Amino acid sequence: MPVDSASTEPETERVAFVRNAPGSRRLYSDEPLLDRARCPIGSDSGAVVREVVDPMTVLTPSASRPISRRRSAMSLAAPLILLTLLTLAAVPPIGSLAAQDGGPNANVAEADRLLLPPAWRDVPLRDDLPSPSSFGGFEFGSRLWQHHELVAYFRMLDERSERASWEPYATSHQRRPLGHLTITAAANRERLDEIRAAHRGLTDPERSSAIEIDRLPAIVVAGYGVHGDEPSASHAAAVVAWFLCAAQDSRIDSWLDELVLRVDPCLNPDGFERFSSWSNEYAGANPSDEPWHREHRQGWPGGRTNAYWFDLNRDWMPLVHPESRGRLSEFRAWRPVLTLDFHEMGTDSTYFFQPGEPKRSHPRSPLGTRELTARLAEFHAAALDRMGTRYFTEERFDDFYPGKGSTYPDLSGAVGILFEQSSARGVRQTGTRGTRTLRSTVRNQVATSFSSFEGSVALRTELLENLRRSYREADQAARVDPLAAYAFAAPKDGGRLDRFAELLARHDIVSRRLIEATEVERMDGSRSTLPAGTLIVDARQRESRLLRAIFDRPTDFEENAFYDVSAWSLPLAFDLDQTELAAMPSDDRLGEALEWERPGVADGPAIAYVVSWSPAEAPAELVRLARAGIQVHAASEAFVTEIDGETRRFEPGALAVFPESDLETGNVDDATLRQVLAASPVLRWEGVRSGITSEGIDFGSGSWLPVPAPRIAVLIGDGVDRYAAGAVRHRLDLELGTAATLIDVGDLAGAARESWTAIVVAGGSPSIDAAGIAALEGWIERGGTLVVLGDACGWGAARNWFGLMPAPTASGTASNPERRPYAEADDDRALERIAGAIVASEIDLTHPIGWGLADPHVPVFRDHALMLARSASAYATPGVYDSEAVLAGYVSPRQRERFADAASIVVASRGRGRIVAIAEQPVYRGFFHGSARLFDNAVLFGPLIENR
Ligand SMILES: [Zn+2]
């Protein structure tokens, strides 16, 4: 069993973006296709070696062949010219082919029939609905569709088919639409609201028993292509939708009678478009099957991710992106009983469908869901057996992290099924297990789509019953669980708690606020008083299963090897104080969101305007003022001052702006300054009337440090971890509101001469040549701040910029290791990996890196086992680890010991500049809003750090 921490799809890699190593090129396949044209071409060691050829691909480049077969009266050239013209035309040629005498559209449709499983090829089809090839004007699968073609096809089906309606639900970052095509019988269409309401009702144990399911059509969502470079998924969606709309067959009628099918053709439009453009750029008229061909070896960052290089198949829980938010809101409005999630994996594999690795199902997923997953698998197996397609189950892929598209539904009453097709990664590619073509891989995905629909009809009442039972069981379990409620607080930072409450609401998890300080009973029997504003989450509400799953902090696991992270606890990611309560506070103590201080600015004139650095919104406010040309100062020490007659204490990091009446530091007059400050969307700037403070630094003190206007660059390109770089870019661009200048590793020699306030190496091991390294070091020595995150610390340590702790020693010695079984090598290594755990940093709050934190203990995420060595300077290790370092996730006992002496953050001085090395990923997957402050401080306040 191969172990790949990186993801559930081992075809891609986590640490750095390394292109697929091409496999040896062998011209045979052990995964034959039923409509194959097999050509014995030789033998290898006595075995018959055969090339498997998709007959439709063989027809290329003459896409006209299926047409010319019937149009024998015409010369071959005429339809070729016609097709070429149509392909060049901007408007899809709807109907133009069908209008030809002799019905050439039917011929093209016939070619597209080969994309269907054999059992469905003879079904009569409406020929006034263009098939994908006739719509596109070229043989479907001979090049990739682009996203606008896919959407145009679905809109056409919406217009022309009375069975289908297209409903957009979101717009991607790059402004591409996402939507569902709802396909069902006319009778169901008339009562869709009722069907939807019945599904939602099944999730409500109070009324679910009254819902009649015998005649209730089941809602099934088929989602394709959350990873943009897995093209058979979205291309299969077009074939599936065409067939469901065009088929004239009683079996299909029964699907549409008994099911409401929602086809989501492209879950990641921006990634899909990136890969389609890439493939079409290089494929040509005669696509090469050679793994070394440029088409099959994507340039950085590749097509898998969305516009910000996030893996959208990890975003179902954190909901950082518009694609996921829109999809989840649909999921919650419709409450499907089954969701299908179509992917591709490496070229050298076969086909996979769930059930996956049995020991790595989420422990809270219902037993009934697992049973239905296995029963549906029988339908997929039969469908692929009929086609001679090889497949595997129950290994490699897991269902553990709740933010995945096949796992989240499991925890929400639906059955989520993952499908993985070995990829042609383009039009065609030959690997160690034969040739994959886009067309043959589409056919497999269509087959398992249909087997899912067949299975859904056969298991319709069981699937509906599973939705009802899973909520009923969760309700019963919650009632007997002594845990009554969770209480969450974010001292000094209401914004972070608000965001947490908003995210819970997107998951239909209800939270309320204490409207006054209230005494509560904790789970350990003690009593304490929680302040007004504390967020209370009733543990016995409808989503009790899901909320436990996303609040969990597991550290013990049945199985200790993970493909994805083993820790995700949302409260830790938001760095919230969490209290578990034995009783819900009474209703009269609970209210809606509290009103925070009115944002804006106090009355002037003042000698300074100040704001605390603790609120989540403060870093974006600093950026906003800098962009407006206002010089902001940061307090490097605490002070106490009087504001409107009230004594207020400000901790280090507090920001001040001075009107020009202060001749040394002010650069804007009071009225203009107040105008800028008044526009603050969430923070309130207080006016200070006197320069003298009652405690700590006065306002003319040298301890007020001018903060340079941020000008931040992020290294990208070969060797850089695209996910980590994407998370940093997302933080800078969309959270802080500053431009993230993306510098390719190859350009560093020239670009490091610019006056960046900070350059970020987000992760991986950037491929920088000697000239680039020299330029970077020179830039640091002239005063630059280099911020190195996560496993890039290994790369930084290799340059001798700072040190790493020695690697742990295995039992035995390197020259004479303990003898172990060959079969256990992967598992042995997996046990020592840190595949994704949340650990507790302890931060020096007097250091600029710690400014604004309410508490020195900060949960941070790490996905590697490198340990930073502490600095030789006593003042340059702002972060270490708590004595109990591991908060959630699997970390072996031997690795746990290493945290005791290691550093979480070190600052290495170099000339007039410095390198800030953070061993963890403070902005991991865009939802670690607690530790994000460490990153913000590093890039915004890094230039203020002195060599001490
Ligand atoms: Zn995938």
Which residue segments constitute the domains of the chain, with CATH numbers given? Answer: 141-303+323-385+406-468 (3.40.630.10), 481-591 (no CATH), 600-707 (no CATH), 712-811+820-944 (3.40.50.880)
- CA of residue 495 to ligand 1 center, whole Å: 34
Q: CA–CA distance from 264 to each of 171, 240, 598, 747, 901 (Å)?
A: 13, 11, 42, 40, 50
552-594 confidence digits (pLDDT tens)? 887 777 666 665 667 889 999 999 999 999 999 999 999 986 6
- CA of residue 343 to ligand 1 center, whole Å: 4
Q: Residue 6 pLDDT > 60, yes or no?
A: no
- CA of residue 313 to ligand 1 center, whole Å: 8
Q: How far is Cα of residue 166 from the mean position of the Cα atoms in its chain? A: 25
Are the C-beta atoms of 654 and 641 separated by less than 8 Å? no
742-797 confidence digits (pLDDT tens)? 999 999 999 998 789 999 999 999 999 999 999 999 999 999 999 999 999 999 99
- Residue 677 class from Cβ within 10 Å (0-12 exposed, 13-18 middle, 19+ buried)? buried
- CA of residue 28 to ligand 1 center, whole Å: 25
586-596 confidence digits (pLDDT tens)? 999 999 866 66
Radius of gyration in angstroms for the set of CA atoms belonging to the chain, rounded to a whole number: 30
HEC string of 411-462 equals HHCCEEEEEEEECCCCCEEEECCEEEEHHHHHHHHHHHHHHHHHHHHHCHHH
Please tell me the least confidently modeled range out of 49-53, 315-319, 432-436: 49-53
pLDDT confidence tier of residue 101, bands split at 50, 70 and 90: very low
- CA of residue 675 to ligand 1 center, whole Å: 49
Are the C-beta atoms of 9 and 568 separated by less than 8 Å? no
- CA of residue 452 to ligand 1 center, whole Å: 19
Q: 3-state DSSP helix/strand/coil percent for the chain, to nearest 5?
A: 35, 20, 45
- CA of residue 356 to ligand 1 center, whole Å: 15
- CA of residue 9 to ligand 1 center, whole Å: 6
- Residues near ion ligand 1 (Cβ under 5 Å): 9, 227, 230, 343
- CA of residue 21 to ligand 1 center, whole Å: 18
Half-sphere CA count of 755, side-chain side, radius 13 A = 3
- CA of residue 83 to ligand 1 center, whole Å: 33
- CA of residue 397 to ligand 1 center, whole Å: 11
Please tell me the least confidently modeled range out of 108-117, 586-595, 804-813: 804-813
- CA of residue 252 to ligand 1 center, whole Å: 29
- CA of residue 785 to ligand 1 center, whole Å: 37
- CA of residue 763 to ligand 1 center, whole Å: 22
- CA of residue 288 to ligand 1 center, whole Å: 23
- CA of residue 717 to ligand 1 center, whole Å: 22
- CA of residue 387 to ligand 1 center, whole Å: 23
- CA of residue 830 to ligand 1 center, whole Å: 22
**DSSP secondary structure code for residue 600 in this structure:** E
What pLDDT, on the 0 to 100 scale, is given for residue 563? 56
- CA of residue 626 to ligand 1 center, whole Å: 41
Q: What angle do CA 790, 794, 798 make, to 5 degrees?
A: 150
- CA of residue 506 to ligand 1 center, whole Å: 24
- CA of residue 768 to ligand 1 center, whole Å: 30
What pLDDT, on the 0 to 100 scale, is given for residue 776? 97
HEC string of 257-310 equals HHEEEEEECCCCHHHHHHHHHHHHHHHCCCCCCCCCCHHHCCCCCCCCCCCCCC
- CA of residue 126 to ligand 1 center, whole Å: 33
Average pLDDT over residues 87-109: 42
- CA of residue 233 to ligand 1 center, whole Å: 9
Are the C-beta atoms of 363 and 401 separated by less than 8 Å? no
- CA of residue 226 to ligand 1 center, whole Å: 6
Q: Residue 634 pLDDT > 90, yes or no?
A: yes
Q: CA-CA distance, 483 to 540, in Å (whole number)?
A: 9
pLDDT confidence tier of residue 67, bands split at 50, 70 and 90: very low
- CA of residue 559 to ligand 1 center, whole Å: 23
- CA of residue 307 to ligand 1 center, whole Å: 16
- CA of residue 868 to ligand 1 center, whole Å: 33
- CA of residue 168 to ligand 1 center, whole Å: 23
- CA of residue 711 to ligand 1 center, whole Å: 35
Q: Find residue 448's DSSP bridge partners.
A: none
- CA of residue 421 to ligand 1 center, whole Å: 9
Q: Residue 376 pLDDT > 50, yes or no?
A: yes
233-261 confidence digits (pLDDT tens)? 999 999 999 999 999 999 999 999 999 99
- CA of residue 398 to ligand 1 center, whole Å: 13
The residue with greater pLDDT, 596 or 359, is 359
840-897 confidence digits (pLDDT tens)? 999 999 999 999 999 999 999 999 999 999 999 999 999 999 999 999 998 998 899 9
Q: Residue 272 pLDDT > 90, yes or no?
A: yes
Residue whose token pair is 């309320």: 512
- CA of residue 304 to ligand 1 center, whole Å: 8
Residue whose token pair is 């996905």: 863
The tokens for 680 are 């603050």
- Residue 806 class from Cβ within 10 Å (0-12 exposed, 13-18 middle, 19+ buried)? exposed
33-46 confidence digits (pLDDT tens)? 333 233 323 233 33
380-424 confidence digits (pLDDT tens)? 999 999 999 999 999 888 888 899 999 999 999 999 999 999 999
- CA of residue 345 to ligand 1 center, whole Å: 6
118-152 confidence digits (pLDDT tens)? 999 999 999 899 999 999 999 999 999 999 999 99
Mean pLDDT of the chain: 88
Percent of the chain past pLDDT 70, that is, above it, reads 86
What pLDDT, on the 0 to 100 scale, is given for residue 562? 62
- CA of residue 20 to ligand 1 center, whole Å: 15
Q: Residue 211 pLDDT > 50, yes or no?
A: yes
- CA of residue 267 to ligand 1 center, whole Å: 11
Average pLDDT over residues 900-921: 97
- CA of residue 11 to ligand 1 center, whole Å: 9
Average pLDDT over residues 368-373: 96
- CA of residue 590 to ligand 1 center, whole Å: 43
pLDDT confidence tier of residue 168, bands split at 50, 70 and 90: very high
pLDDT confidence tier of residue 911, bands split at 50, 70 and 90: very high
691-736 confidence digits (pLDDT tens)? 999 999 999 999 999 999 999 999 999 999 999 999 999 999 999 9
508-555 confidence digits (pLDDT tens)? 999 999 999 999 999 999 999 999 999 999 999 999 999 999 998 877
What pLDDT, on the 0 to 100 scale, is given for residue 4? 36
- CA of residue 248 to ligand 1 center, whole Å: 33
- CA of residue 726 to ligand 1 center, whole Å: 18
The residue with greater pLDDT, 64 or 744, is 744
- Cβ atoms within 10 Å of 115's Cβ, excluding its own: 31
Q: CA-CA distance, 827 to 193, in Å (whole number)?
A: 50
- CA of residue 230 to ligand 1 center, whole Å: 6
- CA of residue 418 to ligand 1 center, whole Å: 9
- CA of residue 603 to ligand 1 center, whole Å: 55
- CA of residue 341 to ligand 1 center, whole Å: 9
- CA of residue 316 to ligand 1 center, whole Å: 14
The helix/strand/coil state of 109 is helix
